[in-house]
Structure 1
Amino acid sequence: MSSSWNHDVFLSFRGEDTRKNFTDHLYKALDQAGIYTFRDDDELARGKEISTELLNAIQESRISIVVFSKGYASSRWCLDELVHIMHCRKTIGHTVYPIFYDVDPSDVRKQSGTFAEAFARHEERFAAEMEKGEQVESSSY
């Protein structure tokens, strides 16, 4: 791997869906193959922002593996990670591999089923945060 990368792989996953099974097995297999993999072992508390350390780990990884599971899109942090992963894909050529764990790939691609509900909630939250930011900005003048 290039010396500009601190990690070979960044794992993006919903902890409560896959941490104790699939993701643990994947992480161990990558590790045994000598592939240096970053995974967030800390559970982020509700209401907390995604950490700078996590965003840096994405940027400093050559590849991201996104494990889409039933609860992935309902996690604000997973979606924040995904946005940053896709930004890195577009701006620095970051490679992204999706894994569909017990979900239909077309539900993710078409944003249907549980993914439709979760993405709609995420869009509402984003719009509310943008509005709040604009209010704060206009009140500071």
Structure 2
Amino acid sequence: MTTRIYVLNGPNLNLLGVREPAIYGSETLEDLRARTGKAAAAHGLEIDFRQSNIEGELVNWVQEARGKAKGIIINAGAYTHTSVAILDALQAAELPVIEVHLSNIFRRDQFRQHSYVSLAATGVICGLGGKGYELAIEAMANILATRKA
């Protein structure tokens, strides 16, 4: 039986590859899905990879993950800095959470340096581009292996 991880992506991540490639890189969301899926398979994990521009849909998916997944990897995009609703859902899910950002949010606008998601996250990976998703999978695999031991 494979262990499922939800990989949730927030607003504007559907524009990866065309939106500000100097900041977010040239990889598309589909490239990230493939990269993340390959890393997950190497660790015996299955991913459910999703993207939405709608805050409530992300909240619904986090709530769904509580009963269907063992962990959540989330790049909440701009909702990182604004969404108490996503924070509340992540805390209620009672699952390990890895927060991912393609860019280093601490080298950006001051408003981007605050993260509500971090308050629920086990760990945060930022500034490493698409490699951050692979590292998040590795971290999640380690967290889950530790919990089983």
Q: TM-score, normalised by structure 1?
A: 0.47
In terms of Rg, which structure is larger?
1
